[in-house]
Structure 1
Amino acid sequence: MYAHLNKFSLCALAALAAAWAPAQAASSTVAASIDHFQYQLVDLDLADGISPSIIFANERWSSETYGAGQQQSLAAPGTTSIVTEFGTSGTTLSHSTLSSTASVNFPVPADGVKHLYWNRNSHSASFTLSPNTQLIFTGVARLSEQLVQKFDYSAGRIKMQGTLGDEADLMSTFEKSYLTNDGAATINLYGMLISDAQARQGQFSLETAASLSAPIAPIPSVPEPSSYAMLLAGTCLVGAVARRRRRAVARQAA
């Protein structure tokens, strides 16, 4: 008899646990990064006796990271990280790398709260470029967006741009900008600026951003276990009762 009760208890408890257990955890993620950023100088006039050179000034860094009401900032190379039970956001900021990440765990809790995680970065500087010089910027951009549910807003973005000269005498300029779509992509970035016979002033900037905003899930009035799990528990109960009755009848007959 006790063996029967133990088997029944295990069966029913397992079914009820399956009814109430949350779905297997998964995460929606958005990421955007620029890696291996560097520059190269090319001498366009070997006869002028001027070696290619670049002098940087006014270098600026900025990073803002947000998640679950928390916020972190950077004004110099470094990292940020916000990790909660519902999601994450963070960044890496250096001379060669800018990265932005945001993730939200699934399923989004039904707590009536808006779950928002994001990061945005920028790195910029002005410079003086020597005469008759080609300045080449390169880097590797990576964008990815993997969503396991519908979001109010999801986006990843990278941007690299540069200008040489001023508004009255703009020598050259470039801009590379990309946004995420569903999936992942790797892009080789290339930008070029060329000075004339004079030293020229210019500037460059890099940007990355990632953001996820989950829809607000209203608090349910009465959570209920699934019908299938309840049916399974009921089947276990009926089977156990039937076996006990058969054994009782067999003992009486004996």
Structure 2
Amino acid sequence: MTTQGGSMNYVVSRAALAAFLAVAAAPALADAFSSLTVSNVTVTVIDLDPNDGIAASISFLPDPAIYMGGALIRGEAQNYGDSLSGPGAQNRTYANSGAWPSTNVANSVQTNLAMQASSVTGSSSGVGFSALSMSGSALSGMGQRSRFWASTNVPGSSSGLLDFTLSANTQVVFSVDASMSAGTTNAIPWQGISESASVTMTLFAGGMAPDAETPLEDIAQQTLIVPGGGSDSWNGVLSASFSNLGDASTSGVFGANATIEGVAVLAAVPEPSTYGMLLGGLGLIGMLGRRRHRAG
């Protein structure tokens, strides 16, 4: 009986000690993620004056010599400890573009703790792309945090905008179906850095008013910004338009841009009071074991 009681005391205390050491040595892991999917890219031309004898039309400038970057994607995955160049730090980046007007561009990067991937599906319909997707995730590790970042521009030219010519008394509407989500798991900052995740999708359309002096522009944007310990999502249609109210054709510009980002950090180390409770629990378990030993 004495041997059994002593054995129980030893087993219970050892299990409690293992639990204590696990909490003391390993802060909880946390992660962040973001994603964006765009599809059903459409260009709708509307005749604002059916009686003017002018057929509503739009024409783009698909000149590969001018638009060497029909789409431009850039991405980064990174993890590091106290400094960007310290032990175990990793940084992976890419930048890829494709010729106008039809291009497929894709790339991805990965470190021990973070990953990011982007792709653009080209289209020769004039607007330059038919779909795009971006995703990233970041996971914290022992003594390290991680992040990902990416951006997509269509077109990817230096100006970042696509020229078009629109007939008189005509409106053009650019629209996309978009689905985005972002989330984080840890609400406690670590070393002054908070966990976060974000997604932004933007469409831009613009041109000159009939006086040839006043710029007209329409910007459609949807953004998700998620701080530590939360998640959010959005699904819907984004549209940007430009109307030529003059009696002659005029030029305009269109552009699409998207960004995602996420940062994962270590959860906070347990407070001193937590260690005190754990030690108190060990003492209580030991006392119960000794009582059982004496009773035996």
**TM-score normalised over the length of structure 2:** 0.63
Equivalent pairs counted in the alignment come to 240
Match of 2:108 among 81, 89, 93: 81
Q: Which amino acid aligns with 1:66?
A: E
Structure 1 residue 118: Cα displacement = 0.9
SS at match of 1:239: helix
* Structure 1 partner of 2:131: 97
* Higher alpha-carbon deviation: 188-197 or 26-35: 26-35
Match of 2:205 among 162, 168, 178: 162
Mapping of residues 124-163 of structure 1, within 5 Å: 124=155, 125-147=162-184, 148-149=186-187, 150=189, 151=194, 155-163=198-206
Q: Which amino acid aligns with 1:67?
A: A
Q: 1:96 to 1:7 in 2, by over 3 A?
A: farther
Q: Which amino acid aligns with 1:123?
A: V
* Structure 1 partner of 2:219: 175
Structure 2 portions without partners, runs of 5+: 79-90, 99-103, 122-128, 156-161, 227-231
Structure 1 residue 162: Cα displacement = 1.4
Verify: 1:28 aligned to 2:28, yes or no: no
- Counterparts of 2:250 and 2:176 in 1: how far apart (Å)? 23
Q: 1:213 to 1:26 in 2, by over 3 A?
A: closer
Q: Is the 8 A contact 1:138 1:190 kept in 2?
A: yes
* Structure 2 partner of 1:251: none
Q: Is the 8 A contact 1:136 1:193 kept in 2?
A: yes
Q: Is the 8 A contact 1:144 1:181 kept in 2?
A: no
Verify: 1:243 aligned to 2:287, yes or no: no
* Structure 1 partner of 2:242: 193
RMSD of aligned alpha carbons = 3.9
- Counterparts of 1:5 and 1:216 in 2: how far apart (Å)? 40
Verify: 1:11 aligned to 2:16, yes or no: no
* Structure 2 partner of 1:250: none
Aligned-residue identity in percent: 15
Q: 1:15 to 1:126 in 2, by over 3 A?
A: farther
Q: Is the 8 A contact 1:129 1:199 kept in 2?
A: yes
Structure 1 residue 245: Cα displacement = 3.7
Match of 2:149 among 108, 118, 121: 118
* Structure 2 partner of 1:210: 260
Q: 1:45 to 1:85 in 2, by over 3 A?
A: same
Q: Is the 8 A contact 2:196 2:225 kept in 1?
A: no
* Structure 2 partner of 1:71: 93
SS at match of 1:226: helix
Q: Which amino acid aligns with 2:280?
A: L
Q: Is the 8 A contact 2:27 2:142 kept in 1?
A: no
Structure 1 portions without partners, runs of 5+: 248-254
**TM-score normalised over the length of structure 1:** 0.71
CA offsets 1:180-210 (integer angstroms, 9 cap, x no match): 3444444532222234444433221111112
Q: 1:137 to 1:5 in 2, by over 3 A?
A: farther
* Higher alpha-carbon deviation: 162-171 or 33-42: 162-171
Q: 1:181 to 1:152 in 2, by over 3 A?
A: closer
- Counterparts of 1:110 and 1:24 in 2: how far apart (Å)? 9
Q: 1:67 to 1:244 in 2, by over 3 A?
A: same
- Counterparts of 1:216 and 1:245 in 2: how far apart (Å)? 45
Q: 1:103 to 1:129 in 2, by over 3 A?
A: same
* Structure 2 partner of 1:252: none
* Structure 1 partner of 2:125: none
